[in-house]
Amino acid sequence: MLPKYSRVLLKLSGESLMGERNFGIDPKMLEQYAKEIRKITEIGVQVAIVIGGGNIYRGMNEAETGIERAQGDYMGMLATVINGMALQAALEKEGVNTRLQSAIKMEQVAEPYIRRRAMRHLEKGRVVIFGAGTGNPYFTTDTAGSLRAIEINADVILKGTRVDGIYSADPEKDPAATRFEHLSFADVIGKNLKVMDMTAFTLCQENNLPIIVFDMNKGGNLLSVVTGQLVGTLVS
């Protein structure tokens, strides 16, 4: 089985780690994701991962919490490092070599993010997890995913979600919503589809980096995507 993509950036939401819980990390989801990621490393795909922090801390409304936006964003970045450490532990339990790199220095738990070092790790077959977003407030982990993917010359961004692609409306709310198989960047903007935030999306568009949105929770989907099967929605 030959991969279509040799180097991918997998973007996962923090919420996806909650599984059936209301917050925090479900060990079953961690184990499932680690097994799926291991399968694609075994066929030679180089994997980088950016994970959100919404299961631990979502930048809440400043008016409600009294915490200013920048402070809240830094709290969210720390949450992504916690998720990164959890995913790292799960991957290593599956026998996958990993490195966790953080955009905020915390030497005891993660390497600092150094682009060339990250690329060497990938070349040596290690999975690299990028924590702490971009290291700057006011940027989402989607933007961090797009930025890191471009920096490491990834072939594609794989956005693992709970739905099996991009729909004309929210399929969880609108039963008449239709799924797209392929969209251009202009289509997404024209139809006002929420794939990722505009900063992240524009980075991909300007650098001609394709995005595949797919259901990460269905076993085997990640392997199908990297071997070029029609799973989810391709934006290119």
Is the torsion defined by CA of 60, 65, 70, 74 positive or negative?
negative
Segment 48-57 shows an average pLDDT of: 95
pLDDT for 60 equals 64
By residue range, what is the domain housing residue 23?
7-235
173 Cβ contact partners less than 8 Å away, ≥ 6 residues apart: none
Residue 124 backbone phi and psi in degrees, to 5: -85, 5
- 96 domain residue, yes or no: yes
Distance CA 25, CA 23 (A): 7
pLDDT in tens, 105-126: 999 999 999 999 999 999 999 9
Residue 28 lies in a domain: yes
Could you tell me the CATH number of the domain that includes residue 192?
A: 3.40.1160.10
In a domain, 1, yes or no: no
Does some domain include residue 2?
no
DSSP state of 183: E
Assess whether pLDDT exceeds 90 at residue 175: no
Residue 197 lies in a domain: yes
How many CA atoms lie within 13 Å of 223's alpha carbon, on the beta-carbon side? Answer: 17
DSSP classification of residue 181: S
215 assigned to some structural domain: yes
Q: Does residue 225 fall inside a structural domain?
A: yes
58, part of any domain: yes
**Total domains, the chain:** 1
